[in-house]
Amino acid sequence: MEFINKRCQHIATTINYKLIPHSNKPKYLGMVLDSKMKLGKHLSKTREKLGLKYKKMYWLTGRRSALSIQNKLTLYEQILKPVWT
């Protein structure tokens, strides 16, 4: 991954005579990076994960659920909040 503003030719990288593939949007320490150091791709992936978890939990946290507000809040703090942080 190279962090530059202008386009240039990619130089092949090898480790132990094995070619390392070039990626425009690699994932490093759980964060998706792009060449311009913007968070757009990372945020969209995180939002997608959050949406999937929310859909799975909707039967517990939806309007017609019999759970109390306190229990719904606890579920949010334990399951959904860590996805953002």
Quick: pLDDT tens for 5-19: 566 666 777 888 888
Domain count, the chain: 1
pLDDT number for residue 42: 73
> What is the average pLDDT across 63-81?
90
Half-sphere exposure of 73 (CA within 13 A, CB side): 3
Q: Is 55 inside any structural domain?
A: yes
Q: pLDDT, tens digit, for every residue of 15-40?
A: 888 888 776 667 777 776 666 666 77
Task: Enter the pTM of the model.
Answer: 0.52
Q: Is 1 inside any structural domain?
A: no
Q: What is the extent of the structural domain holding 70?
A: 13-84
- Give how far Cα 26 sits from Cα of 31, 59, 66, 70, Å: 8, 35, 43, 39
Q: In the numeric block, which tokens belong to residue 58? A: 């909707």
Q: Is 8 inside any structural domain?
A: no
